[in-house]
Amino acid sequence: MKIDRTTVQKMAHLARLEFDPEGEEDMIKSMTEILDWVDHLQEVDTEGVEPLTSMSHEVNVWREDEVKNMLSRERGLSQAPKSDNEHFRVPKVIE
């Protein structure tokens, strides 16, 4: 695929980007190099190669969720600047 000025301008419009003329030329060159690289990848024989789902062979170690009562409600509320018997008191944000 050939990248020309019209293609770059259309893509810039869709991406809400602005280029000066020099920037357009640099973008044409970069996009052409990318597409040439992709064309080169198309030549690689991938017959029989399983697709990767991860680049790592690490396996997640799952653990059971355990409920731990680290702090009691009373202790947490006692450390708050303002509270009532059941809730933290915070300044009003919405009128």
What structural domains and CATH numbers belong to the chain? 5-42 (1.10.20)
Q: Which two tokens stand for residue 13?
A: 């419009």
Residue pair 45/37 in contact (Cβ under 8 Å)? The answer is: no
- Does residue 70 surpass a pLDDT of 80? no
- Does residue 73 surpass a pLDDT of 90? no
Q: For the whole model, what pTM was predicted?
A: 0.48
Residue pair 88/82 in contact (Cβ under 8 Å)? The answer is: yes
Q: Which two tokens stand for residue 44?
A: 């690689």
Higher pLDDT, 13 or 2: 13
Q: Which two tokens stand for residue 42?
A: 């198309």
- Does residue 13 surpass a pLDDT of 90? yes
Residue pair 26/12 in contact (Cβ under 8 Å)? The answer is: no
